[in-house]
Amino acid sequence: MSRFILVLIALAVTATAVIAYRDPEQVARATDSLSDMLRGRTVSAAHAVQIPRRQGGEFVLSAKINGVSAPMVIDTGATSVVLTWETAKAIGLPLEMLEYNVDVETASGRTKAARLTLDRLAVGKLVERSVPALVVPRGQMKTNLLGMSFLDRLESWGVQADRLKLHGYPDVSGRNRRDRTAVN
């Protein structure tokens, strides 16, 4: 009986999402999730990453940007992923071609940043492609920020018991949905 009630609630949430968003991709994801629930599947741990809180209160992780490891701090106040000049150079981004024309506010003050798109950004088993990012000039920041241009692509994220939990979308079709993958 409780499974029946759960399915009814899921249908109501899906219907609300369709009406509220009118976004075909979100509707497809909701439909896939509902189908999985009806088949008795659960969200796999392969689509989730947990990051412990450090003593200073921040969530620090090692991401892979275009295959190169880079330390990052989760920053929900940053609208974008932001890379230091030094990290961008280590990754092999075309720094000489960047145009620093975006005004940004950092912990060190105001500066200009350059827009670019990261081919691939992986946090544990969660992988996103074509992620918008910014690069700040040399010496303007000490750490890379994992901002909302990455976090907004996830199914969900939240803090529970001093752990940040990131949940990606499962690939229920066996194919990558818009190049989103969960790497096993």
52 burial level (CB within 10 Å; 0-12, 13-18, 19+): exposed
Instruction: Read off the pLDDT of residues 129-150 as tens digits, 9 standing for 90 and up.
Output: 999 999 999 989 999 999 999 9
Instruction: Read off the pLDDT of residues 82-99 as tens digits, 9 standing for 90 and up.
Output: 999 999 999 999 998 999
Answer whether 166's CB lies under 8 Å from 56's CB: no
Rounded to two decimals, the pTM is: 0.69
The residues, ordered by sequence, that sit 6+ positions from 144 with a Cβ below 8 Å of its Cβ are 63, 70, 71, 72, 73, 81, 82, 83, 84, 87
Q: Across all residues in the chain, what is the average pLDDT?
A: 81
Least confident interval from 5-9, 33-37, 138-142, 152-156: 33-37
45 pLDDT more than 60 = no
41 pLDDT more than 80 = no
Nearest CA-CA partner of 51 in 127, 145, 157: 157
Q: Quick one: what percent of the chain has pLDDT higher than 70?
A: 68
